[in-house]
Structure 1
Amino acid sequence: MSTQVMVRRNFKHIARNPTSVFNAVLMPIVIMLMFVYMLGDAFSVGVDYVDYATPGLMLLAVCYGLGATATSVNSDMTKGIINRFKVMDVSRGAVLTGHVVASLLTNLVAIAALVGVAFLLGFRTSASLLGWLGVAGIVVLLGVAAGWFTVALGLAAKSPETAGLATVPLVMLPFFSSAIVPAEKMGPGLRQFAEYQPFTPIIETLRGLLNSAPAAADVIPALAWCAGIAAVGYLWARATFKKRA
């Protein structure tokens, strides 16, 4: 029951913060409009650019909501809220899990809005129901992994301001992947980085599922990266919370 209370509390905090709502839900849509309308004709990707870009922008939508989560986690630690939770006999697991689930719910809302706009812009997919279930599964795994890692970053930061800044690399990393253009079109060095960084196989898995042609060479690394990031974030968050609380 305490986990449900924490989820409700954290989700309401995000929903009531206009900046958080803009960054998490509206900013990915703005970026989609910018790339599809303004820059889409400049990229030669072999398909309609909106079809190519949508999977990468779905991942970007996950990343853009992480700053609010990290800031909220750190605020709980630095403003004495945790001591109040102790008096209320709220478990440590509920406090951390509440932030992760609230972050995941925000991600799902953002991605649903993004995909809706993508369809309005002409996005088409051959994915079956099973393919869409696969997309949903990857999105949830990514959201959980990113959520735990972000909670860990928020706990490790010294202040809410630095907690928000700590998530900037996660926001920038999709731009150095295959989200916007294929990795093979990038210059030497950057191309290799894009090919081997964690977000590229996740994006390619989403792209494959939406095209009804997922490749094991992408799916297996994507699942491994999600599991690894989630494990590191969870263990780091638990250890840091135990130390600070």
Structure 2
Amino acid sequence: MTTLTARRQATPRGRRPSHTVADAITMLRRNLLHMVRYPGLSMFTILGPVVILLLLVFVFGGTLGAGLPGVDPASGRDAYLAYVMPGILVITIAGTASGASITVAMDMTEGITARFRTMSISRAAVLAGHVVGNTIQAIIAVALVLGVGLLVGFRPTAGVAEWFAVAGLTVLVSFAVSWLGVAMGMQSKTVETASNLPMILTILPLLGSGFVPTGSMPEWMQSFAQYQPFTSFIETVRGLLLGTPLGWNPMLAIGWCALLSVAGYVWSMALYERTSVR
């Protein structure tokens, strides 16, 4: 009995909260070093949205902007830049899920995760390191893409309070998307699958109000476009940065962030536990 008790205390399940936090910090440091040593994923996360932004604004912006309600056709490009920028920021966050998914899948296929299971490391800390590291990467990516938007003429009207609110929402959405990315990486059998599965998250902003008003979509699509999570994210960012009506969008955005975070956590932990007993 004494031997069994000591063995249980040596397992990750028996670690105290302070040890779990220390383990999570160690895993975070590992993931940040991985991000520095393999910058390709980070660069793709940033360059993809920047290319989309420049293409939409300078190639299609004049036409798309002129079609926005109440916009003077002569200022269509500037109007469309203001309209599309919140969607570009949100799609930047969504794109970081691929990085989390790929990193987790690489650890799974290379046996690193299996080795972690044999060590006295909190299981939640292993996944939390991926999540927090990817959240930091998403925040950096959003800041850089926003900088590009400001360089090409984006002029938000937000005050200090609104900027803090945007920053807080960015953290929440990044955290939720990161948990989903980790779960998708654990679900994937190969790195290739892990790179493709999170694409659904980058498609959702396209099926919301990120690039065109939902009212311009077919009626059968409008209900989905209006109430799917990324529309509330985009409309909240748009309202904070540009002063458009917020309505219930901030509450919906926070609720969706909480729901997606819990879903991603439960999903990833269930997969981790299942593979641990094999």
TM over 0.5: yes
| 1:14 shift after superposition | 2.8
Is the contact made by 1:23 and 1:65 (CA closer than 8 Å) also made in structure 2?
Answer: no
Moved more, 167-176 or 46-55: 46-55
Residues in 2 aligned to 1:198 and 1:226: alpha-carbon distance in whole angstroms:
8
| 1:26 shift after superposition | 1.4
CA RMSD in angstroms, aligned pairs only? 1.6
| 1:214 shift after superposition | 5.2
Q: 1:142 to 1:38 in 2, by over 3 A?
A: same
Match of 1:10 in 2: 31
Q: Please state whether the residue corresponding to 2:154 is helix, strand or coil.
A: coil
Match of 2:86 in 1: 55
1:108 aligns with 2:139: yes
Moved more, 13-22 or 90-99: 13-22
List alignment gaps of at least 5 residues for structure 1. Answer: none
Following superposition of structure 1 onto structure 2, how do residues 90-239 of structure 1 map, counting pairs within 5 Å? Answer: 90-213=121-244, 215-239=246-270
* Rg (Cα) greater in structure: 2
Identical-residue share of aligned pairs (%): 37
Q: Please state whether the residue corresponding to 1:180 is helix, strand or coil.
A: coil
Structure 2 residue identity aligned to 1:69: A
Structure with more relative contact order (C-alpha pairs < 8 Å, separation 6 or more): 1
List alignment gaps of at least 5 residues for structure 2. Answer: 1-21, 72-77
Residues in 2 aligned to 1:161 and 1:19: alpha-carbon distance in whole angstroms:
16
Matched residues, number:
245
Residues in 2 aligned to 1:16 and 1:119: alpha-carbon distance in whole angstroms:
29
Tell me the TM-score normalised to structure 1 length.
0.94
| 1:227 shift after superposition | 0.9
Following superposition of structure 1 onto structure 2, how do residues 70-89 of structure 1 map, counting pairs within 5 Å? Answer: 70-89=101-120
| 1:8 shift after superposition | 2.1
Match of 1:20 in 2: 41
Residues in 2 aligned to 1:60 and 1:86: alpha-carbon distance in whole angstroms:
34
Structure 2 residue identity aligned to 1:177: G
| 1:18 shift after superposition | 4.4
Tell me the TM-score normalised to structure 2 length.
0.83
